[in-house]
Structure 1
Amino acid sequence: MSLLKGMFKSRDKPQNRVGSSFSFLFGGTTAGKTVNERTAMQTTAVYACVRILAEAVAGLPLHVYRYRSDGGKERIPFHPLYHLLHDEPNPEMTSFVFRETLMSHLLLWGNAYAQVVRNGRGQAIALYPLLPSKMDVSRASNGELVYKYYRDVEESSNNPKGGYVTLRKDEVLHIPGLGFDGLIGYSPIAMAKNAIGISLATEEYGAAFFANGANPGGVLEHPGVIKDIQRVKDSWNSAYQGSGNAHKVAVLEEGMKFQAIGIPPEQAQFLETRKFQINEIARIFRVPPHMIGDLEKSSFSNIEQQSLEFVKYTLDPWVVRWEQALQQSLLLPSEKSSLFIKFNVDGLLRGDYQSRMTGYATGIQNGYYSVNDVRSLEDLNMLSDEDGGNLHFVNGNMVKLADVGAAYQKNTGGGDV
């Protein structure tokens, strides 16, 4: 413990910033729009990316395994953690909803937290999500991480005024994203707030443009002096402003003229900007554009390869981050050498039907697949031993290179080859 005191100072408090003078926080952007986790989700591209990644992680099979003495592994469905992770982490949520919620927190705030409820033996018996916006991570005097969670009045039955609740490190499941100190992740939304702000601004501009009947604003010119300017302005707006008054014929009196002054959307490259921002946001989350509805650069020949790359380069890092955080926080110290927690992504890596059957046939012919191995991968019922379901076969026409000469002599009865 004295070593911890010597290593960690008060300045080593985990924080989501580079230094005291430069902080990556939600807020205003150069596009004039306020970006935070809630306004960002109003952008269709952000919503689609978060939903795809959250549902992908939530839908993967999640199991607890034990290392076997022969080097293999086996699933242990009767372990207490198996029910929490695979079925329901608490009485109010399914495993899918729990993981989907935490993954959305991780994508928006850069951190995901859950309270770990343990029994007298230290085993986790329930997991409850905690909002990252209410969590503050600091260090105790001994160097240990301390989590302080703010509870609102509605959440604090014992304290009518609300307040902070202090949680020890073993009482919190913390999954951090990419961060500066390895302890606290920073939000992708905050880091890319200008790109998202442009998307929000273009959406608002488009909505206002079409609300005005798809016509830009303009100026009414009068050759003389108008005594009541506001009356003329209100009269014009009530008669011709808005999508409901589109295509009406305007009647101008006393030599007045209408001069449009707005920039037409084609000159402002409105559609091109919106399309670019979709790719920009997809780049933030490393999601292939075709998965959020942009099929411009996708085809039948490359879309399957893009989907496989999504699993390998986008989903796999998140899966490893989840697995290691679950093992670190939920497994007991005595279990960490013999147990591990793993997502199964094999189903997402499967090719088309013909490719799978060709691969299975090769595996059976070369002895590393049995019929039941293949049926298990295809989620089919197992065959009995009497039917040869667990037998392994090897192609008998293949021999070792060193035995080729001996086999030739035996078959021909000859001497030297």
Structure 2
Amino acid sequence: MMAHVLLWGNAYAEIERDGAGRIVALWPLLPDRTQVYRNMQTLQLEYLTVLPDGRQIILPAFQVLHIPGLGFNGIVGHSPIRMAREAVGLALATEEFGARFFGNGAQLNGVLEHPGKLGDTAHKNLRESFDEKYSGLSQSHRVMILEEGMKYNRIGIPPEDAQFLQTRKFQIAEIARLYRVPLHMLQDLERATNNNIEHQSLEFVVHSLRPWLVRWEQAILSKLLTPQEQDIYFAEFLVDGLLRGDIKSRYDAYAVGRQNGWLSADDIREMENMNPLPDGKGKIYLVNGNMVPTDQAGQQTQTGQQTQTG
């Protein structure tokens, strides 16, 4: 379904329930065969989908899990590939050009000029002989021998003049921008260093993954949990494994908040996706200095003054 939403802009899945209304399965629907429209009589959204056997069915909104991408009407998202079709098309064109160029390894982007007139048989024999000797990667860079006053005239633009390699690299970055993927994750380490890769990885989690995870969490909460279940359960993607590279910075920040009294143990455990401490012990805030609970700080001060007076 994530591939559907990244390529088509929408992901759909039919929600199957048993007789008691409990969800038992999710059946992905093909995004190119599913349409969303509003029933003007009920004002509710409905989903028209075509099954693999050709049958058309209409599903109500509560029976479909829908993950939309970027859109303008609040209902469906647009396909990133369709919106950036020019950039994708240029990348495919350069890839095909490179394949054809290296496939014809002799670089014979030219014409053979013969002083006379060749018949059909001679023309066919000349082409077959030329392809056999000079076409293909294994025949590249061979010395060309021409007879009967023939001349070879090269045409076209060499790849270095057309900046072929630079174009391919730029198109990789252009498509990566569609999905906010750092180039070092695509094995492009030209501008990567040991210092910035870690921060770029964190930015990928925060700015690239997190928006999609929020969409999934919201859709799961609204479509897969009943109002009663929403009071007990929630959906959350844990990305701690992707953030562990910066765990020292997180723990240093927690220590500052804990020692200065504006973070409790339960606050920190919640941010680390851990359960609170039992019996409310994690709700106690500490003050810097003696590290005593805030509700006992005044009592200890008064006790200390009475001891000095005595």
* TM-score (ref. length: structure 1): 0.62
Post-superposition Cα deviations, 1:74-117, rounded to whole Å, max 9, x if no partner, equal: xxxxxxxxxxxxxxxxxxxxxxxxxxxx1111100100011101
1:183 and 2:83 correspond:
no
Partner letter of residue 52 of structure 2? D
Q: Which amino acid aligns with 2:264?
A: Y
Pairing 1:221–2:113 present = yes
Which stretches in structure 2 are left out of the alignment for 5+ residues? none
Match of 1:121 in 2: 20
Q: Normalising by structure 2, what TM-score?
A: 0.81
2:4 aligned residue (105, 110, 116): 105
Q: CA deviation at 1:278?
A: 0.7
Aligned-pair distance for 1:341?
1.9
- Match of 1:134? 33
Structure 2 residue aligned with 1:397: 290
Does 1:368 find its partner at 2:261?
Answer: no
Matched, 1:271 2:165: yes
2: CA distance between counterparts of 1:325 and 1:201?
A: 38
C-alpha offsets along residues 54-80 of structure 1, whole Å, 9 cap, x if unaligned?
xxxxxxxxxxxxxxxxxxxxxxxxxxx
CA contact (8 A) 1:196 1:281 kept: yes
Give the aligned partner of residue 308 of structure 1.
Answer: 202
Counterpart amino acid of residue 211 in structure 2: P
Asked if 1:148 is matched to 2:42, the reply is no
The structural deviation recorded for 1:343 is 1.8
Pairs within 5 Å for 1:271-290: 271-290=165-184
Q: CA deviation at 1:275?
A: 0.3
Matched residues in 2 for 1:320 and 1:262: separation?
51
**Pairing 1:212–2:104 present:** yes
The number of residues matched between the two structures is: 293
Contact 2:106 2:134 in 1 (8 A): no
Q: Is the 8 A contact 2:104 2:136 kept in 1?
A: yes
Is 1:166–2:65 an aligned residue pair? no
SS at match of 1:341: coil
Note closer, same or farther for the CA distance 1:316–1:306 as it changes in structure 2 (3 Å cut).
same
Contact 1:350 1:356 survives alignment (8 Å): no
The answer for the alignment partner of 1:196 in structure 2 is 88
The residue identity in structure 1 corresponding to 2:88 is: I
Please list every run of 5 or more consecutive structure 1 residues that lacks an aligned counterpart in the other structure. Answer: 1-101, 154-161
Task: Give yes or no for contact 2:106–2:135 (8 Å, CA) kept in 1.
Answer: no
Matched, 1:242 2:142: no
Larger Cα Rg: Structure 1 or Structure 2?
A: 2
With CA pairs under 8 Å and 6+ residues apart, which has the higher RCO, 1 or 2?
A: 1
Listed as ranges, the matches of 1:54-133 within 5 Å are 102-133=1-32
C-alpha deviation, 1:164, in angstroms: 0.8
- Taking a change above 3 Å as real, the CA distance of residues 390 and 348 of structure 1, as seen in their structure-2 partners, is same
Sequence identity, in percent?
A: 50
Going from structure 1 to structure 2, the CA distance change for 1:351 and 1:239 (only over 3 Å counts) comes to closer
Shift of 1:283: 0.7
Q: Tell me the amino acid that sits aligned with residue 149 of structure 1.
A: T
1:337-352 → structure 2 map (5 Å cutoff): 339-352=233-246
